[in-house]
Structure 1
Amino acid sequence: MKLTSALRYLDQHTNLEATAGRVEGLSLDRMARLVHVLGDPQTAYPVIHITGTNGKGSVARMVSRLLTAQGLSVGTYSSPHLERINERLAWDGEPISDDALGEAIGAVAAVEDLAAVTPSYFEILTAAAFRWFAEVAVDVAVVEVGMLGRYDATNVVEASVAVCTNVGRDHTDGAPGWRQAIAEEKAGIVTAGVTDVLVLGETDPDLLPTFAAAGAVETWLRDVDFGVAADRVAVGGRLADLRTPDALHEEVYVPVHGAHQAVNASLAVAAVEAFLGRAQADEVVEEAFAELTIPGRFEVLGRHPTVVIDAAHNPEGAASAAATLAEDMTLPGSVLMVVGLLSGRDPVEVLSALGVADAGLLVVCTPDSPRALPTSEVAAAAERLGAVVEVVPEPVDAVRRALAVATEADLVLVAGSLYVVGPVRAALREMEVSA
């Protein structure tokens, strides 16, 4: 299959990323059937499986860098993409080519009738990724959960190492007991007696029994077995001391912004050492992080004015973005914000955490998604918080408006959704924004 035909085939299947509403009848049966007729490619290599409300994409990218620095061949599966669908499947850090992606999706299409199932968009891509990793003979696959864990399509793998970054309120109605319910779903990526180590970033003591009951051979707890021993702001990122059960990696330069990224780095280093069964050499850790980039995560794309994009889309992510803004950035001018949100989020909570009341201007836009929250709702929430608000529906036009108002001393922050950040990131390369 050529990529154009493959994408047409994909679009003929239900894309839950683009639809709102509750999913009923959760089961892995359909996905298990699909990979079975492909020869169960996900069993051809060990897997590090990563879940969590926030940070799992960053951790997956860091883990992949660390493993590649060890000389291993590494497949990485992540979602959603920022600009091109190819980003979701990577081999040693390089996105899959158009031809290889078309072939991988085509291989899934060829067995759909044999499997006697109608897979979803995400299930097709997941199966294609697993098959491609087997075909190129990766030494290890780093697999990011799409949503929650237990019934996510990726959970047909049996992880050697499982990672849970944290438990937040995404994908829940917030009813009493939601933290316990979300923890149970995320703990579902552990295969009892098979998963050697669960690396747990969530520190709520009330949730620890749930994760312990998942049945990993060992559970490593953040701030007990591993963690950040020290963390300082550095030019372009953080300088952190990262502690694991077997090592202390001192003054590791992590070239991404935010104290939360130092925590993510500790999770990644612990996960790789759990997988290897030994400490990593300091120079290998330093090499792995030296060239680390995490597109769309507090990524600085311009200066004079400073332009930052961040995929913060929930209250926890918004709070991290605001903290990073305050701690990592020297701001002689004002902050202007461009924000679009998806349904399922309380706009007051997200905007309050982001600090829109203190912004010089908030430009509200519409994410490029059927799940977009109407700009009128977002603008009304912002006005209730005391923000100065304009509405410019198209995200790129919204950024142009903010840039037109900004002085060279100001900072423009684009946030709220990957479906805002992705199109803006592509467009900024075409704008006259100095890096």
Structure 2
Amino acid sequence: MSEPRDEFDQDAFDAIVDAETDRDPDLAVIEAGSRTLRARAGSPQDDAVPARPADPEVDAALRAVEADLATRWGETKLEPSVARISALMDVLGEPQKAYPSIHITGTNGKTSTARMIEALFGAFELRTGRYTSPHVQSVTERISLDGAPIPAERFVETYQDIKPYVEMVDAKEEYRLSFFEVLTGMAYAAFADAPVDVAVVEVGMGGSWDATNVIDGTVAVITPIDLDHTDRLGSTPGEIAVEKSGIIKEGATVVLSQQPVDAAQVILKKAVEADATVAREGLEFGVVSREIAVGGQLLTLRGLGGEYEQVFLPLYGAHQAHNAAVALAAVEAFFGIGADHARTLDVEAVRRAFASVSSPGRLEVVRRSPTVVLDAAHNPAGARATADGITEAFSFSRLIGVVGASGDKDVRGLLEAFEPIFAEVVVTRNSSHRSMDVDELAAVAVEVFGDERVVVEPRLDDALEAAITLAEEEDEYAGAGVLVTGSVITVGEARLLLGRG
């Protein structure tokens, strides 16, 4: 049973912060954030807590749109088909054909790669539209123009503009358009209206029947494929690759990250069938060298046209270096740079672009003393990359985990990936209806970590406070840290609780 929601009271919020600052400023922020989280939460079926607009009228309008969208199928309920989104595009006048696109699929790294591609295009003064999912804190994050989330007012206007056409399609189809299909239609319409020079589009799930797959991406990017959504996509990387390779269009360029052998075979076969050109990480492009630097890493990248040295990336982990190589190759391919055109992009522009990249909720440091890191890893492959990144970039004497996961994920595999680096784990849950029951999560955690290393806190704000307290409790752990992980939703709510909303 959900708790009653308080009306948001800014004076009360400020009073809590002021009153608690003397005791522990960071724990005070958590307590204040907890009140804000409860007060600002919308429907209990919302997948994340939005960062609300400051204008009450705009906030009310955005809430109305969110409530309307919430009546539709959520992102976990699918009818594999592009018929409905195609019908919507038809009545909207095919807005997705008004600009060239880069289409991105894979299991992990899609959003970070999309943000890097967007930054590179921005450095070359191209106007960009970026569509990614899920969002960390606000639904408006999913549709970005020129590197920034679409303003709430424009989000509402775009929804109102396409709503009559959505209702026309609803009336004709067997099933109404889903939440994700409507958002996809909004993104494509917003990009055409801007207008953008290029769209960077991340699939929601799979590829061939994903709602985004009504674009003709001149470049198809496939990030590492691993096991996730196995009930819908397949039980092996090769089976999953069948769906994901569905974004490869006739004559496109495929930028392919390092893949399991069976997945690579499927993708290469599809590329041949589509007469597509393939650029493979480790062969045509890749990471030449990387070294840890303050606030990130220093890279030398080999692109399709040559090497780019002294590239600073303000993100942690080897996986982000590989994402950077993929993003660079994708932009080179878009500009027609390759083996037949041996030239590079302007290296200074490339350096500026990568130095400007951020990826909220991906090994993101949100406070110090003790250090709290947020990472949205939600499957075993992502957790392994995060664990490696934490070990490489941070020298924690002791690391406390805060884990809130979705019930439809491989939670055991996720916890097993983190077990070597967590001294203790605080299991909790987020506000989503998809969140795993905390007692069930605790039972799995005890099997993985042992009873003495598991702490149970049903509320996320209590879990954060418990983890920070554990990290601070003894002098010998002065270098202790906290990692909050398990779900994009958990990370988004933690950002708000820790004052980053």
Normalising by structure 1, we get a TM-score of 0.93
For 1:100 and 1:294, how far apart are their aligned partners in 2?
A: 23
Secondary structure of the residue aligned to 2:298 is strand
The 1:269/1:362 distance shift into structure 2, 3 A limit, reads same
For 1:174 and 1:91, how far apart are their aligned partners in 2?
A: 31
The 1:430/1:139 distance shift into structure 2, 3 A limit, reads closer
The 1:191/1:430 distance shift into structure 2, 3 A limit, reads closer
In the alignment, which residue of structure 2 is the partner of 1:243?
302
For 1:346 and 1:5, how far apart are their aligned partners in 2?
A: 34
Alignment of 1:28-427 (within 5 A): 28-115=82-169, 116-117=172-173, 118-173=176-231, 178-193=236-251, 195=252, 197-214=253-270, 215-278=274-337, 279-331=344-396, 333-355=397-419, 358-387=421-450, 388-407=453-472, 408-427=478-497
Secondary structure of the residue aligned to 1:230 is strand
Aligned residues: 422
CA contact (8 A) 2:364 2:373 kept: yes
CA contact (8 A) 1:164 1:202 kept: no
Query: Comparing 105-114 with 259-268, which one deviates more in the overlay?
Result: 105-114
Encode CA deviations 1:65-108: one digit per residue, 9 max, x unaligned: 00000000000011111111111111111111111100111122
Alignment partner of 1:5 out of 37, 45, 64: 64
Secondary structure of the residue aligned to 1:114 is helix
CA contact (8 A) 1:163 1:198 kept: yes
CA contact (8 A) 2:107 2:223 kept: yes
Deviation at 1:346, TM superposition (A): 2.7
Deviation at 1:245, TM superposition (A): 1.9
Deviation at 1:228, TM superposition (A): 0.5
The aligned amino acid for 2:282 is D
Q: In percent, how many aligned pairs have the same letter? A: 39
CA contact (8 A) 2:234 2:240 kept: no
Encode CA deviations 1:186-214: one digit per residue, 9 max, x unaligned: 10011123x2x100113333333321232
CA contact (8 A) 2:249 2:276 kept: no
Deviation at 1:402, TM superposition (A): 0.9
The 1:294/1:10 distance shift into structure 2, 3 A limit, reads same
Deviation at 1:4, TM superposition (A): 3.1
Q: Which runs of 5+ in 2 are unaligned?
A: 1-57, 338-343, 473-477
The 1:313/1:175 distance shift into structure 2, 3 A limit, reads closer
The aligned amino acid for 1:317 is G
CA contact (8 A) 1:352 1:385 kept: yes
Structure with higher Rg: it is: 2
Task: Report runs of 4+ in structure 1 exceeding 4 Å deviation.
Answer: 173-177
Deviation at 1:377, TM superposition (A): 2.2
For 2:433 and 2:410, how far apart are their aligned partners in 1?
A: 17
The 1:177/1:306 distance shift into structure 2, 3 A limit, reads closer
Q: Which runs of 5+ in 1 are unaligned?
A: none
The aligned amino acid for 1:77 is Y
For 1:237 and 1:300, how far apart are their aligned partners in 2?
A: 11
Root-mean-square deviation (CA, aligned residues, Å) is 1.8
Normalising by structure 2, we get a TM-score of 0.81
For 1:119 and 1:192, how far apart are their aligned partners in 2?
A: 27
Secondary structure of the residue aligned to 2:455 is strand
Secondary structure of the residue aligned to 2:212 is helix
Secondary structure of the residue aligned to 2:436 is coil
The 1:303/1:42 distance shift into structure 2, 3 A limit, reads same
For 2:500 and 2:186, how far apart are their aligned partners in 1?
A: 32
Question: Does structure 1 residue 15 correspond to structure 2 residue 92?
Answer: no
Encode CA deviations 1:323-351: one digit per residue, 9 max, x unaligned: 111111122x3101100111232322111
For 2:300 and 2:431, how far apart are their aligned partners in 1?
A: 39
Encode CA deviations 1:367-417: one digit per residue, 9 max, x unaligned: 322222222222122212234111111222211111122224210000000
